Amino acid sequence: MIALLSLILGVARADEGMWLPEQLPGLSDELAALGLELPPSQLADPAQDPLAAVVSLGFCSAAFVSEDGLIGTNHHCVSGYLSYLSDAANDRARDGYLAGSREEELWAGPAARLYVVESIEDVTDAVLRRVRPRTPDLKRREQVDAAKKALVAACEAQPNRRCRVASYYGGRTYRLITQRELRDVRLVYAPPYAVGSYGGEVDNWEWPRHAGDFAFLRAYVAPDGSTADHAPENVPYKPPHHLTVATEGVAPGDFVMVAGYPGSTYRYRSAAELRFHAETVYPRKVAVYTELVALLTEEAAKDPEAAARLSSPIDFVGNSLKYARGMLDNFEKSGVVARKEAEERALTAWVEAHGGPHAEALAELAAIEEAERATWARDTVAGWLMWMPDLLGATHTAYRFAVEREKPDLKRDAGYQDRDLARARHRLEAMDHTLWLPADRRVMALLLRETQALPADARVPQLDAWLAAQGGVDAALERLYAAPALAGAEARLALLEMDRAAFEASDDPWVELAVALEAWQAPLRQLEREREGARLRLQPLYIEALQASRGGHFYPDANSTLRVTVGRVEGYAPRDGVLHLPQTTVAGVVEKAGPAPFDAPQRLLDAAPGAPQSAYADPALKDVPVDFLSTLDTTGGNSGSATLNGRGELVGFVFDGNYESMSADWMFDPALTRSIHVDIRYVLWLLDAVEGAGWIVEELSPAH
C-alpha cells in the first residue's frame, strides 16, 4: 500500500513550470530524475523531434502523427469546424464524422489554419535598440511597437509565413517566431459529442473522467508541396517530423511531458489583482455567463438547425462559466489569496533590503492597476457587447479596418494591418454557417441591458445617445434585427471594402452602432497605449525583483507560445478521506452510461465487453484505459497538446484540468494541480473496435 501511495501522490516536485524549450538544458538533473530519456538539448530545439511535430491551430495545440499530414488534437478543439460542417440534416457537431477514405475528408472551412514553427529567434536587442532609460512612456511604446512590426513584416516577406514577436518577463526579452501557415485543413475523424464530451458539463473539469476528447485532421498543400488555399487537386502535406505512437501507453508513476501553446497565466500578477478577481471579476462573469448559457440552450432546443449552429458557443460559454465558478471555489478553499499575499510580502522585503528603482516601479504599477480597476465594469460590459453578438462584432471589426487604413500599414493597430485582412474576410464568410439570428438577438438584448444597469457615471455616453435616438433598447433591437442585410456573407464582406466616410454616412443601424461605440473606445485606446508604455518601463524591474526574491528556476507566464511541461502520471487527494486514482477504464464508461450527458453510443456499449481481451487493454487494469491524470502544469491553449513519454512518443492528448487546478493559473499547487489526458489506447480502441476505422489505425501504427 505504501508503494502504491508513493506512485499516486509522489514526492518529486519538478512539475511546476511552462518552460521555454531553451530552458530545458538547465533542468537536466530534474528531468533525468523524473524519467526523461531524451537529451534535454534535443528538446531545446523546436526544429528537432519531438517538438518539430507540435503545431498550433491558432487557439488549440495539436501535433502531426503520420508522415501524410495526419494531425491529432482534441474533439472540443474542432467544435467550431464541426459547427461549420453542420446543419439540420447533418448535425456533425452532435453525431461526429468519420471519413471512409482520404477522398471523404471534409474541408474545415475558410478560417481553419495550421501553424508549424520553423524558427524561434531572440530579437531583444532589435526590439529595444532605440529605447533609452528616459524615453517617455508613449514614445517607448511606439518604438517597441514599430520595431516588432518591422521584424514581422520582414519575416512575412517570405511567402505563406505567419510571424510574431512575443514578449516575455514583462518585456525583458523578445523572440521572433516564424511559422509556416497551412490553409487547407480537413476533418478526418471526430467522435460523436456523446463520446468526445462524455459527461458534458456534469463531468467538465471533474475526475474521474471518461471522455474520448480527441479528433483527427489532415493538412493539405498544392501538388508541388507549396501552401495553397483549399482545392480538389491538393495533396496531403508531408511534414518533416511526426510523432510515433507508443502503443503500450502509460502507468502510474511514469514520466510524461506535454509540448503545446498554453494561452495565459497570471502567476506574476499582484495580490491586489488577485483579490479584485476573486471579489469582482469572477462573480460578474458567473452572473453573465449563467444567463448566456441559459438563453443559448433555450434557442438550441427550438430548432435542429439552431442546435447544430449553437453547439460550439454553448460549450465555450459553459466551459467559461464552470471555470469562473471553479476559480471562486478554489480561492475559498485553497488559500491562494493568502499565499499570494505572503509571496508579495517576501517581494516587498527584498525591495526594501536592496533599494534601487524597484520600489518606485512597484508603486507606479499598483497605481496603474488601481486606475484600471476603477473602470473595469464599464470596459468589460462594453467589450462583451462589441464581440459577443456576431453581427456587431463583424461590423465593428470592419469599421476598425476602415479607420486604420487611413494610416501607413506599419502604423496601424495590431490586428488591422493588411496581413490581417484575409483572416477577417474568412471569419465573415464562415459566419453563414454559424450565425443564428434569434440567439444573436437575445445575446444583444442581454448585453444592452447590462450596459443600462451600470451606474450613471460608468455608462457609455455614445451608446446611451444612440439608444435614445432609437427609442430605447426594445426599439433598437427591433430595428437591428427586423431584416438585417448583414445576415448574408455578401453584405458583411462589402463592409471590408468601405472607407471611413462611407461608414460614418451609413444609415444601417449596425454601422451606426459600431461607429458610436468606436467613438467611445478610440480615446480609451490611446490611454491604454500610454499605460502599455509605462508597463514596458516598469514590468522588467518588477519581474527582476520578483525573480530575485523567489530564487531558483524561473519561467515566464504563458503567452500562447511554445512551451514544455513535465511530470508524472499521478493521482491526488482532493479532501479528507478521498483519494483519486490516476486512471479510468472502459468499464467506467459503461458504468456511467444512461441519459444525456452520459448517452454513450450503443455501438460503444456493444463493443465494451470485448475491451479487456483487446490488444489495447492494460495488463494491470485488465481493461482499456480511457483517461489519466498527470502532475503536468497546463492551462487553456494546451488543449489538444500531444502527451509524450520519456522517449518522446505519443501516449495521449491533454484535454482538461481537474476542478481543483483552476486557480493554478494564478498559483501552482503541486498537491492538487492535475492535467487530464485521453489515453492513446482508448483512441486506438475506439477507432478500431467501435468505429471500424482500421485505415486510420494503420496510419497511426509505428510500422506505417
Q: What is the DSSP string of 592-650?
A: H-SSTTS---HHHHHHGGGGGGSTT-BTTTTB-EEEEEE-----TT-TTPEEE-TTS-E
Q: Is 312 helix (H, G, I), strand (E, B) or coil?
A: helix
Phi, psi for 107 (deg, rounded to 5)? -60, 130
Contact assessment for residue 497 and residue 486, using Cβ atoms and an 8 Å cutoff: no
Amino acid 556 reads P
Q: Is 170 helix (H, G, I), strand (E, B) or coil?
A: helix
What would you report as the CA-atom Rg of the chain, rounded to the nearest whole angstrom? 25
**Distance between CA atoms of residues 509 and 237, nearest Å:** 45
- The DSSP bridge pattern shows strands 161-168 and 235-236 to be unpaired
**Distance between CA atoms of residues 494 and 477, nearest Å:** 23
**Distance between CA atoms of residues 249 and 677, nearest Å:** 12
Is 639 catalytic? The answer is yes
* Number of alpha carbons in the 13 Å side-chain half-sphere of residue 390: 26
Which residue of the set 61, 75, 76, 656 is catalytic? 76
Which residue of the set 213, 623, 627, 688 is catalytic? 213
State the cell numbers at 159. Answer: 511567402
**Distance between CA atoms of residues 229 and 183, nearest Å:** 5
Contacts of 351 (CB under 8 A, 6+ apart): 358, 359, 362, 545, 549
**Distance between CA atoms of residues 115 and 178, nearest Å:** 9
- Residue owning grid cell 530519456: 37
Is 76 catalytic? The answer is yes
Contact assessment for residue 72 and residue 653, using Cβ atoms and an 8 Å cutoff: yes
Contact assessment for residue 171 and residue 541, using Cβ atoms and an 8 Å cutoff: no
Judged on CB neighbours under 10 Å (0-12, 13-18, 19+), 186 is buried
**H or E segment and range at residue 289:** helix 282-300
Which residue of the set 66, 86, 639, 675 is catalytic? 639
- Quickly count: other Cβ atoms within 10 Å of residue 453's Cβ: 10
Give the dihedral sign, CA 54/57/62/68.
negative
**H or E segment and range at residue 249:** none
Contact assessment for residue 27 and residue 248, using Cβ atoms and an 8 Å cutoff: no
Q: Which residues are catalytic?
A: 76, 213, 639
